[in-house]
A and B are shown apart, each in its own frame.
Chain A
Amino acid sequence: MKRYLFILRKPAHSGAYLQEMLDIMLITAAFDQSVSILWLDDAVFQLKNHQQPEISGMKDTAAMLQSLSLYDVTELYIETESLQQRGLNTDNLCLPVQTLPRQQIGEFMRGFDVVFAG
């Protein structure tokens, strides 16, 4: 088993990006690998509460992200500064994530076998 860290950096509805990243993350978890996820930059908007994408006929990706827990993917991290710079805090998010300050991200990434740049 390898320890995977998936790093997400784009907002939801960047084409099929998030659906396709979610597919990889879930398949990796289904192969009994250890999966952690880190949200950086505009990717933090993926987790924003109260999205209504169905108005524009788009997939509710925030609801799809809820399926991570069904695959025992519970190691969820978000960069503190990325949230702050966008006027958000963890109360605005639809998943229970742990915050990590930017200064600690490099050290954090060293703890994984595979860093998957998404």
Chain B
Amino acid sequence: MKFAIQINSSPYHNHAWLTAYQFIRAALREQHEIMRVFFYHEGVYHAFKYATPPDDEINFVQRWSELAREYHLDLVVCISAAQRRGLLHSDEAQRQGKQDNDVADGFRIAGLGQLVEAISLADRFIVFG
């Protein structure tokens, strides 16, 4: 089955992301397809490269980056939600006269059309958070 996933809450607001993460891992293990994981609203906080939790806590950014690498997963952060919250990739930062590139490995920044496309191609769409 083809799934489109959306994550709306930030890593420290609740653990909805961990449920999503475990769901995605389980689905991939069972040979299902994850069309795209779309980070929206406060979910964009998952993609900040410099989030540095203490060593004895789950490193969510690292988890996502590894998952993306392992399964060639498409992790997409909404551009307008990201910019509101200060997450800029290098092109956009340059355009805005800033120097940041804050997007963690495995994530890419794109528009809402990517979400609509994923939902239209998927058999199921699930929102977490």
Contacts and interface: CB of A to CB of B under 8 A. Distances in A.
A28 B41 contact: no
B126 to A, nearest CB: 9
Interface in A1-51: 2, 16-17, 20, 23-24, 27-28, 31, 33
Contacts of B112: 23-24, 27
A114 B125 contact: yes
B120 A20 contact: no
Contacts of A2: 119-120
What size tier do the contact residues of chain B reach? 10 to 19
Contacts of A116: 125, 127
B116 A20 contact: no
A28 B117 CA distance: 9
B81 to A, nearest CB: 6
Given A23-B112, A114-B125, A31 B81 contact: no
Interface string B37-72: 000110000000000000000000000000000000
Contacts of A114: 119, 125
A55 interface: no
A24 B78 CA distance: 10
Contact of A20 (B81, B111, B119, B125): B81
Interface residues of A, number: 13
B113 interface: yes
Interface string A48-91: 00000000000000000000000000000000000000000000
A17 B116 CA distance: 18
Interface in A99-118: 114, 116-117
26 contacts: A2-B120, A16-B41, A16-B81, A16-B84, A17-B41, A20-B40, A20-B78, A23-B80, A23-B112, A24-B40, A24-B115, A27-B111, A27-B112, A27-B113, A27-B115, A27-B116, A28-B116, A31-B113, A31-B116, A31-B120, A33-B116, A33-B120, A114-B125, A116-B125, A116-B127, A117-B127
Sorted from nearest, which 8 A-B pairs have the closest CB atoms?
A: A27-B112, A31-B116, A117-B127, A28-B116, A114-B125, A20-B41, A27-B116, A114-B119
